[in-house]
Amino acid sequence: MADYSLIGDQRLADQLFLIAHDNHTGKPVAGPDALDAALAGAVLVELTLDGRIRFVDGKVQVADHRLWREAVTDEVLGEIVRRGDGHHRQAWLSHLKPWVRERVGRRLVDAGLVSRRETRGLSLRVTVRWPGMDPDAVARPRVRLGAVLAQHDRLDVKTAALAALVHAGGMTRVLNLFDRSVTDRLGVAQRLLPPVLGDLVKAVEEVVAAAALTIRR
């Protein structure tokens, strides 16, 4: 039987990051706005599940400000403490978008799962790729999620959140889902979440849609 277990107690944003990048080339499989909004949502889900933040009328409040000595958690939580309670979840998603991918990527570099490679084109624009150190290992979250959905296993909260964020970030195709019922199940994962997390994923979708509208204009 295949091993669909996670890599240790892997953080939700780390799983999403690995799903969102080709495990060989490290190239993102989704547009930057959708990917970054989904990653920002994943970090806020992490903090919610860890009991670090809570939502009151859609606004973020700090529930536990103690540091964990984990770089991404502490940096985002520290930013929320500095900015103060009462900012809406959409505002936080937009605020985290510009730098969350770099932070989560470096967490995975520190874990020895990916490397960070920069290239500079003729336009002098820097492109960052995150190829897997062991492509089979970094593919595991993608394989596991696809298998759980295909087998119609009961989704726990963390897996349902991952599936919902994959859908919100426009990454459905990377799971190679050809069974329509499985694809549909990925789309309704949000309904399986507690209301506070379902609303957060909905906010991710709204931020993605707003960014797409801005680009079209």
**How confident is the model over 78-88, as a mean pLDDT?**
94
6, part of any domain? no
**For 147-200, what is each residue's pLDDT tens digit?**
888 887 778 999 999 999 999 998 887 776 556 666 777 777 888 899 999 999
126, part of any domain? yes
3, part of any domain? no
**For 34-51, what is each residue's pLDDT tens digit?**
999 999 999 999 999 999
Angle, vertex CA 111, rays to CA 198 and CA 115, nearest 5: 100
Domain tally, the chain: 1
1, part of any domain? no
Full domain range(s) for residue 73: 12-216
Running DSSP on this structure, what letter comes out for residue 151? T
CATH number assigned to the domain comprising residue 30:
1.10.3630.10
Q: What is the pTM of this model?
A: 0.90
4, part of any domain? no
172, part of any domain? yes
5, part of any domain? no
32, part of any domain? yes
